[in-house]
Chains A and B, each alone.
Chain A
């Protein structure tokens, strides 16, 4: 177990290092921050002073060397746009992001697993058709449009929920619903497909012939055997929630890492881009290890070694 974790961590960190190197150079290909932070008619002296103060006057390889040296001490530099350390800018957005992802994924599984299972129990029935229609609808609907329509209906017209911000618990409803939208549809379909395969397996047919109740069959035996593809897709979607949810940030002003990263790219805030990618990378690595552990718990044939 420990060996597995250390190997997994090492390979993941090597991958993260590669990503950081690529991000460092790609970010600098997008143009000089001086064009953004100084007035368009700034003098040469102002541009030179800006570049000197922020180290952009150094050769690229020197900048990279400085970045690596500082990053080893977890110092990603100062955010140009936020006027605070980049690591703080990135880390401060993570708790809200992780919490939103956790709540949204938990609710997604609570909705999608029963729906997919009920659909699979009676394939091609009206119930199956209705659930399939629902899941295709939620998986296909543009989330940006969904978010705005929800605001107009539930906030403006019905006055039930706040439009944006984080003033109360009610502020969570629309962001969580928006983040859940696509995963609910996709995971319901995955559950349905996996359950259909499992329910047609010989051991299930045998158990059915012995008179096991459908509830025991579905949720105790079949679901566990159908779990692997569900965990795979749920893990993938959870990763998307951790590094994304940009729509939620843009519409609802949710202070997540997705928005921090997008703003950092627009603001040519290289330090925050690098810190954000690092923090998200670590989160994804941890999530993947968690998924591996859940695989092993769900299927005893998988050994963590």
Chain B
């Protein structure tokens, strides 16, 4: 079955073909843009494009994948280095590669090159950040010159979407070592990296797609948001992201964008008192999300009751969860206490300090709200490394009873990238131990279309009713652009900033 065939060239390509046919020369890339970002990549190997800091620079700019997800169409899978794909049977797929594509080092993109890149990522010894996104062992093989066969151990109906995360490096990239000079097929070539300072990219003359507007792009890292915003105001930078509300207010070129990230609390379900549903419902009633988002999160978040955004097929329309109701929380706690649940037991609130700006104040407010209805909450602030033993199994199962602060984002359009992680029994980050729910997750993963959507919605409903997680807020941010450039923020801006979308004004 052909799931997706490229039926028409994208508008830009069509325009380019038309202008070429009419003899109108395409404008050459010239000038430079400077992007001020909060953090530099921890790795510039294409196989580590799983974090925002890495993917923002590389994905879609230096390296590209077989497919890409549409930022504004619910994660619809679109062609990129593959022009079409076919599901041969439950476990086998054929991807046809785009003709005429070369890597920046001159190597042609053919089935051998694609197979090399995909199998390189599957090598557990290489520790690629994108590997956990491939949920079932997947092997690539050459079907013909320009056709790649992908074979999955278990059926994976959303494999084309997963392939959007697997950026293909040149076959000259080391097989068993990370590269510090990525070579891909994207519109920009990697030129240099000055650790802690900058990364420089240069437009590729041989790019297969639409020409870009700017010949050079320099990324600089400025951890302080005031400085990022100031760089736009003084003309030192052309795009600055992750700008707080007060810095963007009144700025002519400010845009808001969704980070696709949801902030939630994960209760430890294994130990009292949080193993009691009434206690968890009391938690949900006790937290005033409106107050948190409007006041403490400075309009950079909206209250939510769900783990995923409306872009994801497991999103339940109009579901709002339990309302803020401290009286109901007190009543539920009293009822649980009367039944012998140790509701006065100390609960650790594990606040990870780097998940968003201002999380410390938000965690303190949550602690206060919970204490007001009768919980005994102790706030523990940790960085990402110290957070890990509280978050990941098996260590997380031996910790004192706790509430863990977490953020999660999913741009794939599919709930399989979210729900098993937090509702499944096997997942590292999950506290859920409901075998029946886990079976339903496994079954849902094999479905397609509306059946898949309905299955995931039903799973989500049950998970939210059981208060397996307590969603608090969907996070937003802002960016500023200079007068020199035009860039429309989209659903992926926080994760990928495609320089091809940045135009000269």
Q: Are B223 and A39 in contact (CB under 8 A)?
A: no
Q: Are A250 and B230 in contact (CB under 8 A)?
A: no
Given the contacts A37-B42, A267-B42, A165 and B220 also touching, CB distance less than 8 Å = yes
Q: Are A36 and B385 in contact (CB under 8 A)?
A: yes
**Closest beta carbon of chain B to A245's beta carbon, Å:** 14
Which chain B residues (221-270) contact chain A, with CB distance < 8 Å? 221-224, 226-227, 230-231, 233-234, 236
B384 within 8 A of A: yes
Residue of A nearest to B224 (CB): A251
Q: Are B234 and A156 in contact (CB under 8 A)?
A: yes
Q: Which residues of B contact A32 (CB under 8 A)?
A: 385, 388
**Closest beta carbon of chain A to B34's beta carbon, Å:** 10
Determine the distance from Cα of A165 to Cα of B230 in the docked complex, in whole angstroms. 12
Q: Which residues of A contact B483 (CB under 8 A)?
A: none
Determine the distance from Cα of A41 to Cα of B178 in the docked complex, in whole angstroms. 20
Most B C-beta atoms less than 10 A away, residue of A79, A82, A159, A260: A82
Determine the distance from Cα of A253 to Cα of B240 in the docked complex, in whole angstroms. 15
Given the contacts A30-B385, A30-B386, A46-B131, A152 and B224 also touching, CB distance less than 8 Å = no
Determine the distance from Cα of A35 to Cα of B42 in the docked complex, in whole angstroms. 13
Determine the distance from Cα of A61 to Cα of B438 in the docked complex, in whole angstroms. 43
Determine the distance from Cα of A164 to Cα of B385 in the docked complex, in whole angstroms. 30
Given the contacts A30-B385, A43-B124, A253-B197, A165 and B236 also touching, CB distance less than 8 Å = yes
Determine the distance from Cα of A156 to Cα of B235 in the docked complex, in whole angstroms. 9
Q: Count the A-B residue pairs with Cβ separation under 8 angstroms: how many? A: 116
Interface size on A, residues (CB 8 A): 46
Which chain B residues (12-46) contact chain A, with CB distance < 8 Å? 42-44
**Closest beta carbon of chain A to B421's beta carbon, Å:** 6
**Closest beta carbon of chain B to A46's beta carbon, Å:** 5
Cross-chain contact of A84 among B180, B197, B224, B388 (Cβ < 8 A): B180
A207 within 8 A of B: no
Residue of B nearest to A166 (CB): B197
**Closest beta carbon of chain A to B442's beta carbon, Å:** 16
B196 within 8 A of A: yes
Q: Which residues of B contact A259 (CB under 8 A)?
A: 196
Q: Are A84 and B195 in contact (CB under 8 A)?
A: yes
Q: Are A40 and B428 in contact (CB under 8 A)?
A: yes
**Closest beta carbon of chain A to B419's beta carbon, Å:** 13
Contact with B along A157-169 (1 / 0, CB 8 A): 0010011110000
Determine the distance from Cα of A254 to Cα of B124 in the docked complex, in whole angstroms. 37
Q: Which residues of A contact B388 (CB under 8 A)?
A: 31-32, 35-36, 40
Interface size on B, residues (CB 8 A): 41
B293 within 8 A of A: no
Given the contacts A41-B429, A163-B231, A165-B236, A250 and B224 also touching, CB distance less than 8 Å = yes
A304 within 8 A of B: no
A255 within 8 A of B: yes
Which chain A residues (38-68) contact chain B, with CB distance < 8 Å? 38-43, 45-46, 49-50, 53
Cross-chain contact of B230 among A30, A43, A155, A266 (Cβ < 8 A): A155
Q: Are A162 and B234 in contact (CB under 8 A)?
A: yes
Most B C-beta atoms less than 10 A away, residue of A39, A45, A84, A268: A39
Cross-chain contact of B391 among A40, A79, A93 (Cβ < 8 A): A40
Q: Which residues of A contact B44 (CB under 8 A)?
A: 83
B339 within 8 A of A: no
Q: Are A164 and B429 in contact (CB under 8 A)?
A: no
Determine the distance from Cα of A267 to Cα of B43 in the docked complex, in whole angstroms. 12
Q: Are A151 and B230 in contact (CB under 8 A)?
A: yes
Q: Which residues of B contact A148 (CB under 8 A)?
A: 224, 226-227
Determine the distance from Cα of A267 to Cα of B384 in the docked complex, in whole angstroms. 9
B318 within 8 A of A: no
- Given A49-B126, A164-B222, A253-B227: 20 more A-B contacts, CB < 8 Å: A31-B388, A41-B428, A42-B131, A42-B132, A43-B132, A46-B132, A81-B195, A83-B44, A93-B196, A148-B224, A151-B230, A156-B230, A162-B236, A163-B227, A165-B220, A251-B224, A253-B221, A259-B196, A260-B196, A263-B196
The 4 tightest CB contacts between A and B, nearest first, are A35-B388, A31-B385, A82-B195, A163-B230
B residues touching A (Cβ–Cβ < 8 Å)?
Answer: 42-44, 50, 124-127, 129, 131-132, 178, 180, 195-197, 220-224, 226-227, 230-231, 233-234, 236, 383-389, 391-392, 421, 427-429
For this complex, 30 residue pairs linking A to B, each with C-beta atoms less than 8 Å apart, are: A31-B385, A32-B388, A35-B384, A35-B388, A38-B127, A39-B50, A39-B129, A39-B131, A40-B392, A41-B132, A41-B421, A41-B428, A42-B428, A43-B131, A43-B132, A46-B127, A46-B132, A82-B196, A148-B227, A151-B226, A151-B230, A155-B230, A156-B230, A164-B227, A165-B236, A252-B227, A253-B197, A253-B222, A253-B223, A267-B42
